[in-house]
């Protein structure tokens, strides 16, 4: 019973609005659904580094003195595709039990940790984060451990700037993961949701079409799920073919002093609290709703 | 089932028919005693020591979700123009044994009825020419025909014998547009790459034949399935699997074994039970005739189809082919070793437990150990346990 949410501003060219504050409100209104961990990913293509040959490898490192305390660390990498140096670094980090690798970031800022959304804000000041779109997640663990590596959003180290939050279960996770591992994709957690991010990356590397990637996933994945995926050019809401998990979209035309934006979430309360209660509709089972920049 | 087991069953039935008195020992116990004498109990019981993990049973029920369970499978890789689609993962497999005409006729009628009345298309592997059929026929061939028209079936099956088999496959591939399945032996690891390169659409592993050969002597059918699937995965490492199917045949005579094999990586099961039903009925039942035997085969297949839908549904899948080794658990170390199945309650395979033990020991004692050395040690500990 996780809680997911996402926001995309209608005017993408002015991403100096603190979208983090809106995501914070949406997450807090759904906190009752899940309390194990919280995480967000926010995309900002203006304030990010414009150099194509630059991104960060982000990972969480457990404090050597306090067990359960993690710090976000970013290591600069000067290439758009994984270099040998980076592969070696990732390989070394993934053998360290105190490290949880969370992905590659260029225009995206991804933070996640154990605890409530207010704990996340206290640590990383998420309310002040600016950007054009973003996603948030509240986790209650069903199938894997409660630790930062299994917290959402999930990203990959193969392609920068893709993040996924998920509510439900991918029951054929093991099968899909084996297929992707056989193709050479690395996994850094035991959470079924990670397979969505890696699957989408595999598809995007093949044909670059996010709509087709989601359609393929709906066909291949089994189980009850709703997920929100964000890339630097899109925000999408996807439901399984039987519509067994909730997923709704609403629009705020610019009320309450906010700029106009589209919002998506698990619960209606999350849309209400940010005034996104126009054109409210549930995503159709087996379909994706995609907003692009 | 091996011939000695069959002999025990048949002689028990005949004994009962002749004497008319109740037995003081069940057929199962008789078989067990027989196995004990031949010291093969260990490998036979492996089937029964595997359970399916009902982890997803903790979910609330979703009726629409559970009602749609896909059993259909398409046979044929990219290069295959006329793919064959089966309604369930079974191909009736004649085990290369000569079947009597009457039994075959009953079987053909049954398969036709299943295709027409129940929308259930099964495959049949057989050497015979079968005219006016509604089901998919895979013709067993051992020499190249002069005319393409002679391949009057939807698919072909050929046996891999030596390097010449690859040339044989290349020649046939040029002429035949349907799927070609190749029966492999215990040496498959040496040639599976070239075989798939040459254009085989699937491989058939007859587990009885393979476990009777030197390389797999004393090993179980599950080990064969695991190894062949692993070899196929290795072939596709870093690439997209373009639809190769693994068919296993041998001692798969009930739903449980079909499901366990599928979870370990088999896509299609070579099923012999329907032929046994036809054979037994035509041989031993005076009242049976050409109409009642197909009925019995149809009922058996449809019951099996229902059971095959039930298992993935209970595990939370809407597609039979989503079963994976992660859905299985075992209570036996031997089984865990043979097929890399996790042990109940621990959720780790026996191999993983040993590997962790070595890691802990090495770290405690401050021993530097490279991957190769660790692998050698694991093999040694597993072999001499």
DSSP codes, A108-123:
EEEEEEES-HHHHHHH
Contact (CB<8Å) B56/A182: no
Which helix (H) or strand (E) element contains residue B305?
A: helix B292-314
- Least Cα distance to A119 among A2, A35, A177 occurs for A35
Give the model's pLDDT for residue A272. Answer: 93
Q: How confident is the model at residue B366 (pLDDT cuts 50, 70, 90)?
A: confident
Tell me the average pLDDT of chain B. Answer: 84
- Least Cα distance to B97 among B212, B209, B240 occurs for B209
Give the model's pLDDT for residue A274. Answer: 93
Do B54 and B314 meet the contact criterion of CB atoms below 8 Å apart? yes
The architecture CATH gives domain B63-328: Alpha-Beta Barrel (3.20)
pLDDT in tens, A156-179: 998 889 999 999 989 899 999 999
In angstroms, the Cα distances linking B332 to B107, B113, B261 are: 38, 42, 17
pLDDT in tens, B320-348: 999 999 899 998 888 998 889 999 888 89
Give the model's pLDDT for residue B146. Answer: 59
| Domain boundaries defined on chain B | 3-39, 63-328, 331-383
pLDDT in tens, A32-72: 898 889 999 999 876 555 566 678 888 888 888 877 788 88
Tell me the average pLDDT of chain A. Answer: 89
Collapsed DSSP state (helix, strand, coil) of residue B193: helix
Do A191 and A143 meet the contact criterion of CB atoms below 8 Å apart? yes
d(C-alpha B173, C-alpha B150), whole Å? 14
- Tell me the shortest Cα–Cα distance from A205 to chain B, in angstroms: 13
Give the model's pLDDT for residue A49. Answer: 54
Q: Name A6's bridge partners.
A: A135, A264
Binding-site residues on chain B for chain A (CB distance < 8 A): 55-56, 59, 62, 64-65, 68, 233, 236-241, 315-319, 321-327
CATH class (in words) of the domain with range A3-292: alpha beta
**No. of H helices and E strands in chain A?**
7, 14
Q: What is the mean pLDDT of residues B180-204?
A: 94
Tokens of A248: 């709704």
Give the model's pLDDT for residue B58. Answer: 45
Q: Percent of chain B having pLDDT more than 70?
A: 85
Contact (CB<8Å) B240/A224: no
On the question of pLDDT at A7 being above 90, the answer is yes
Q: How confident is the model at residue A185 (pLDDT cuts 50, 70, 90)?
A: very high
Tokens of B209: 């034949």
pLDDT in tens, B216-273: 888 899 999 999 999 999 999 988 889 999 999 988 888 999 999 999 999 999 988 7
pLDDT in tens, A105-150: 888 999 998 889 999 999 999 999 999 999 999 998 877 788 888 8
d(C-alpha A277, C-alpha A263), whole Å? 9
Q: How confident is the model at residue B164 (pLDDT cuts 50, 70, 90)?
A: confident
Q: Percent of chain B having pLDDT more than 90?
A: 37
Residues with Cβ within 8 Å of A30's Cβ and at least 6 positions away in sequence, in order, are A3, A5, A138, A265, A266, A267, A269, A270
Q: Which of B62, B70, B239, B369 to mutate to test the interface with A (most CBs of A within 10 A)?
A: B62
Residues with Cβ within 8 Å of B190's Cβ and at least 6 positions away in sequence, in order, are none
* pLDDT higher at A191 or B95: A191
- Tell me the shortest Cα–Cα distance from A98 to chain B, in angstroms: 16
Give the model's pLDDT for residue B19. Answer: 73
Q: How confident is the model at residue A8 (pLDDT cuts 50, 70, 90)?
A: very high
Q: Which of B264, B312, B314, B319 to mutate to test the interface with A (most CBs of A within 10 A)?
A: B319
pLDDT in tens, B129-147: 788 889 999 998 877 665 6
Q: Is A97 exposed, middle or buried (0-12, 13-18, 19+ CB in 10 A)?
A: exposed
Do A8 and A39 meet the contact criterion of CB atoms below 8 Å apart? no
* Chain B residue at shortest CA distance from A180: B238
On the question of pLDDT at B76 being above 60, the answer is yes
Tokens 């991957």 label which residue?
A: B371
d(C-alpha A241, C-alpha A225), whole Å? 9
- Tell me the shortest Cα–Cα distance from A206 to chain B, in angstroms: 10
d(C-alpha A3, C-alpha A7), whole Å? 14
Q: Residue B53: list chain A partners with CB under 8 A.
A: none
A254 conformational bin, left if phi > 0, alpha if psi -120 to 50, beta if neither: left
């Amino acid at each position: 019973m996780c809680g997911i949410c996402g926001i995309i501003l209608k005017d993408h060219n002015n991403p100096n609005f603190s979208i983090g504050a809106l995501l914070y409100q949406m997450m807090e209104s759904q906190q009752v659904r899940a309390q194990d961990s919280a995480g967000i990913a926010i995309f900002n293509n203006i304030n990010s580094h414009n150099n194509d040959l630059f991104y960060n490898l982000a990972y969480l490192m457990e404090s050597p003195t306090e067990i359960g305390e993690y710090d976000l660390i970013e290591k600069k990498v000067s290439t758009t595709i994984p270099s040998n140096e980076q592969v070696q670094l990732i390989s070394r980090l993934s053998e360290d039990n105190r490290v949880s690798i969370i992905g590659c970031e260029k225009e995206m800022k991804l933070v996640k940790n154990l605890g409530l959304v207010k704990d996340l804000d206290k640590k990383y000041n998420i309310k002040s984060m600016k950007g054009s779109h973003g996603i948030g997640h509240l986790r209650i663990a069903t199938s894997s451990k409660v630790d930062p590596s299994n917290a959402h959003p999930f990203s990959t180290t193969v392609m920068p700037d893709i993040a996924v939050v998920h509510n439900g279960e991918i029951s054929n996770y093991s099968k899909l993961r084996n297929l992707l591992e056989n193709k050479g994709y690395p996994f850094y957690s035991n959470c079924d949701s990670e397979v969505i991010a890696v699957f989408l990356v595999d598809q995007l590397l093949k044909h670059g079409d996010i709509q087709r990637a989601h359609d393929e996933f709906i066909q291949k994945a089994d189980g009850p799920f709703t997920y929100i995926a964000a890339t630097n050019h899109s925000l999408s809401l996807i439901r399984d073919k039987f519509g067994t998990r909730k997923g709704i979209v609403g629009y705020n035309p610019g009320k309450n002093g906010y700029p106009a934006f589209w919002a998506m979430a698990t619960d209606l309360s999350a849309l209400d609290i940010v005034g996104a209660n126009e054109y409210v509709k549930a995503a159709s089972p087996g379909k994706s709703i995609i907003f692009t920049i | 089932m091996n011939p000695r087991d069959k002999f025990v069953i048949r002689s028990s039935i005949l004994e009962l028919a002749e004497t008319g008195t109740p037995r003081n020992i069940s057929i199962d116990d008789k078989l067990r005693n027989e196995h004990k004498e031949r010291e093969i109990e260990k490998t036979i019981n492996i089937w029964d020591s595997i359970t399916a993990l009902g982890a997803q049973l903790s979910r609330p029920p979703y009726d629409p979700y559970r009602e749609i369970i896909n059993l259909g499978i398409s046979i044929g890789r990219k290069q295959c123009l006329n793919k064959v689609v089966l309604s369930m993962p079974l191909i009736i497999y004649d085990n290369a044994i000569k079947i009597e005409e009457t039994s075959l006729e009953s079987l053909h009628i049954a398969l036709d009825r299943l295709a027409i009345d129940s929308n259930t298309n099964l495959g049949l592997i057989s050497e015979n020419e079968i005219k006016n059929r509604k089901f998919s026929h895979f013709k067993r061939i051992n020499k190249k025909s002069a005319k393409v028209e002679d391949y009057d079936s939807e698919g072909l099956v050929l046996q891999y014998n030596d390097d010449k088999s690859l040339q044989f496959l290349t020649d046939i591939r040029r002429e035949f547009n349907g799927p070609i399945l190749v029966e492999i032996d215990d040496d498959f690891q040496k040639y599976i790459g070239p075989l798939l390169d040459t254009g085989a659409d699937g491989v058939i592993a007859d587990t009885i034949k393979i476990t009777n050969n030197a390389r797999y002597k004393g090993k179980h059918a599950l080990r064969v399935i695991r190894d062949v699937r692993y070899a196929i995965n290795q072939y596709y490492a870093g690439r997209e699997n373009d639809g190769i199917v693994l068919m296993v045949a041998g001692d798969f005579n009930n739903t449980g074994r079909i499901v366990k094999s599928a979870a370990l990586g088999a896509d299609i099961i070579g099923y012999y039970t329907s032929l046994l039903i036809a054979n037994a009925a035509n041989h031993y039942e005076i009242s049976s005739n050409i109409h009642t035997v197909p009925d019995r085969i149809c009922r058996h297949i449809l019951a099996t189809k229902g059971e095959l839908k039930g298992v993935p549904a209970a595990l939370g899948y809407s597609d039979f082919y989503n079963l994976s080794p992660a859905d299985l658990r075992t209570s036996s170390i031997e089984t865990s070793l043979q097929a890399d199945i996790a042990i109940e309650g621990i959720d780790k395979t026996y191999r993983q437990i040993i590997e962790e033990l070595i890691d802990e020991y090495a770290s405690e004692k401050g021993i530097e150990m490279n991957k190769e050395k660790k692998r050698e040690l694991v093999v040694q500990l597993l072999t001499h346990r």
